[in-house]
Chains A and B, each alone.
Chain A
Amino acid sequence: MRTRKKIMRTALALTVGSFMITPITAWSMEASDAPETVTIDSMSKLYGPVEFDHSMHVGYASCQECHHHTTGEVVADPNCARCHNSADENDVVSCSECHEANRFNEKYLKTLEDPKLYHIDKPGLKGAYHLNCVGCHTITSGPTGCVDCHAMTEDGEKMFNTGAFAPAKGTSSSGQKH
């Protein structure tokens, strides 16, 4: 029981962020080992954090549909299976472990110049979340609106000129005049 709790706690820590990583090995990961909810808040600025109901999503998709080849399940995409053909699970399964939060910073872009690198087009963390979530939600008629998953913050309202920062009707000096 204690070990189980430990795994749960570790998995939670790993999924939420990559800060407090204590690698675990030799445990077979099962859906029940996964955290119930994950708070995705690493990039919340214009939008608030996402309270991701992991346990609910376990019912909708198999592990590898989101976690690719990392959870010990055989990878679904035959293209990925060319290399990731063993079902070994990774020490870490959190998104941020592989998907770079600063996808376009100079240092990371430099690593893409390695001529032997296959993954030259791995989405950044924000891209990975949205492509995965919105992609599936579009097919399964899940929520796809921005504020369906995360509420807009004050910074967001400022950025989008909406809410309290909406342009006053008729007084705007600009606009599409063409």
Chain B
Amino acid sequence: MKKLFSRRNFLKGGLATTAAAAVLKNKETKASGDFEGYPDGMGVLVDLTRCVGCRSCEAACNKEQELPEPAKPFNDFSIFDEIHHGQKRRTDETAYTVVNRYDVPELDHPLFRKFQCNHCQEPACLTSCFVNAYTKTPEGAVIYNSKVCVGCRTCMIACPFYVPTFKYSSAFSPKIMKCVFCYDTRLKEGKAPACVEACPQEALTFGKRVDCIDMGRQRIRETPGKYVDHIYGEHEVGGTAWMYLSSVPFDKVGFDTHVPKEPIINSVKDFLAMVPMVLTIWPGLFVGFHLLATRKEKMMEMEKEKELAKQKATDEKEEQV
């Protein structure tokens, strides 16, 4: 009779299963990294060549989001010269968006850049949050729920654009403060965010994200020489809802051009997949190793003790005698 289960067959089968598992696992990993966002998600195209630095967007945001009164009026342009800790103004708990001025040597006029949450297609803040305080809505906004947030501030570190800020000033209800695309008050109802509506120059154009990309491409194609041939945010960190056009290379106007072209989660996913395995299997495995490794010593110790006891017994006997 033929052997049904030889050692060779067993090994072959095992190898095939392992390979299949590896392939399947790979596919799964890839699928989650390839999320391209909701198809009808909205976006904003920011055209730096149009912005005149009037700060209307900042004022509109302040009123819409009921943020505290600013230190200086919104038509005070001396703030463009402010440097805080060696860098230009940043968003904080009092301002979800700021405009900064950049003096570019090759231009005879400055460029202005509006800064706020870019509302990533696959946000790092969301994927890093272990209590799921963040949501990417089908409309395109990345919103935050302060009720479940535990204040760990991992999102602040995870964000490639350093957007989420913390309300340190409030001891009793601290929370993350960031642009929410005016989700609750406007976007949910299909309306453009307050900053877009306030912009006189239409430097901010609101529309479906896919349409914004088309618009950007058209502007680049039809006004040769006006723009660098790149839409910042089309592919950066896997794509963002807010995208930018510029007449000078993006690194000259404060953009990080070294961010990866894929979602931030892809950089850590392989590692993160290992964590549960490490946590569940490793303790048992190593305790087992430890027990095995120390078993011999223990046995020897026990034997020694036994011998000692025997010796003692015989010694005592001898003494009695």
Contact B208 A161 (CB under 8 A): no
CB-CB nearest in chain A for B216:
A121
Contact string, A95-127, partner B, CB cutoff 8 A, digits 1/0?
Answer: 000000001111001001100000011011011
| Residue among A105, A126, A146 making CB contact with B54, cutoff 8 Å | A146
Nearest Cβ in chain A — how far from B64, in angstroms?
10
Does B262 make an interface contact (CB < 8 A)? no
**A residues near B68, Cβ cutoff 8 Å:** 172-174
**B residues near A104, Cβ cutoff 8 Å:** 191-192, 196-197, 206-207
**B residues near A62, Cβ cutoff 8 Å:** none
Contact A159 B218 (CB under 8 A): no
Does B71 make an interface contact (CB < 8 A)? yes
CB-CB nearest in chain B for A125:
B202
Nearest Cβ in chain B — how far from A126, in angstroms?
6
Nearest Cβ in chain B — how far from A102, in angstroms?
10
**A residues near B54, Cβ cutoff 8 Å:** 146
Does A59 make an interface contact (CB < 8 A)? no
Contact A126 B71 (CB under 8 A): no
**B residues near A161, Cβ cutoff 8 Å:** 59, 62, 69-70, 73-74
A-B CB pair tally, cutoff 8 Å: 109
CB-CB nearest in chain B for A138:
B109
Question: Which of the segments B15-23, B82-90, B263-271, B288-296 contacts the partner chain?
Answer: B82-90
**A residues near B206, Cβ cutoff 8 Å:** 104, 109
Cα of A166 to Cα of B62 in the assembled complex, Å = 14
CB-CB nearest in chain A for B206:
A104
Q: A130-B200, A161-B59 are in contact. Are A121 and B218 (CB under 8 A)?
A: yes
Contacting residues of chain A (132-178) with chain B, CB-CB under 8 angstroms: 134, 138, 144, 146, 159-162, 166-167, 172-178
Nearest Cβ in chain B — how far from A125, in angstroms?
10
Does A131 make an interface contact (CB < 8 A)? yes
Contact string, B203-237, partner A, CB cutoff 8 A, digits 1/0?
Answer: 00111100100110011001000000000000000
Contacting residues of chain B (141-158) with chain A, CB-CB under 8 angstroms: none
Does A3 make an interface contact (CB < 8 A)? no
Is the contact region of chain B dominated by helix, strand, or loop, or is it mixed? loop
**A residues near B71, Cβ cutoff 8 Å:** 167, 172, 174-176
**A residues near B222, Cβ cutoff 8 Å:** 79
Contact B84 A178 (CB under 8 A): yes
| Residue among B60, B95, B190, B215 making CB contact with A159, cutoff 8 Å | B60
Cα of A127 to Cα of B67 in the assembled complex, Å = 27
Contact string, B180-202, partner A, CB cutoff 8 A, digits 1/0?
Answer: 00000000001110001101111
**A residues near B215, Cβ cutoff 8 Å:** 120-121
Contact string, A40-79, partner B, CB cutoff 8 A, digits 1/0?
Answer: 0000000000000000000000000000000000000001
**A residues near B196, Cβ cutoff 8 Å:** 104
What are 23 A-B contacts defined by CB distance under 8 Å?
A79-B222, A109-B207, A113-B208, A120-B211, A120-B215, A121-B215, A123-B202, A124-B202, A126-B202, A134-B201, A138-B109, A146-B54, A159-B59, A159-B60, A159-B63, A160-B74, A162-B74, A172-B70, A173-B68, A174-B71, A175-B94, A176-B71, A177-B92
- Give B residues with C-beta under 8 Å from A: 50, 52, 54-56, 59-60, 62-63, 67-76, 79, 82, 84-85, 87, 89-90, 92, 94-95, 98, 109, 190-192, 196-197, 199-202, 205-208, 211, 214-215, 218-219, 222
